[in-house]
Amino acid sequence: LVASMEEVEETYIMIKPDGVQRGLVGEIISRFEKKGFKLTGLKLFECPKELAEEHYKDLQSKPFFPKLIDYITSGPVVCMAWEGIGVVASARKLIGATNPLNAEPGTIRGDLAVQTGRNVVHGSDSPDNGKREIALWFREGELCTWMPVQEPWLI
């Protein structure tokens, strides 16, 4: 069955610098692909400090904010836009709890991380924030809408 367009959401997923440095990029991307979501944006990117501060502006007053900004700007991140039915909440489930020690085995953080301050991946927490964050991290020409092939690639 084809989903009605109202059910289709978009979310911003980002592999943080520790995920890139530990060689987990392929592993993390494949979890979203295998689940059945559609990749519509993808780039390796060195995040400027101002962008990290804008992205995390709701956490500005937290004591860990300066450390969080240092972490996110400490090396390249992988920026991704994903599309699909219920993708925002589903991606958060695939990612697991913020503190990796509380994240269930089978989730990305549950399987691959041990510290809140090095929790390898970000996912938008609402459809509105999904749209806001995709607009913040991508320029329009960097996003692709595409349909699965109708003809087989191989015969």
Provide the annotated active-site residues.
Answer: 122
Residues 6+ apart with CB under 8 A from 111: 105
Nearest CA to 127 among 2, 12, 18? Answer: 12
Q: Smallest gap, in angstroms, from Cβ of residue 18 to ligand RTP?
A: 9
Residue 102 as a binder of ligand RTP (CB under 6 A): the answer is: no
121/51 Cα distance (integer angstroms)? 17
Footprint on residues 31-60 left by ligand RTP (CB under 6 A)? 59
Footprint on residues 115-154 left by ligand RTP (CB under 6 A)? 116-117, 119, 122-123, 125
Contact 95, 108 (CB under 8 A): yes
Q: Smallest gap, in angstroms, from Cβ of residue 10 to ligand RTP?
A: 15
Binding footprint of ligand RTP on the chain (CB under 6 A): 59, 64, 68, 98, 116-117, 119, 122-123, 125
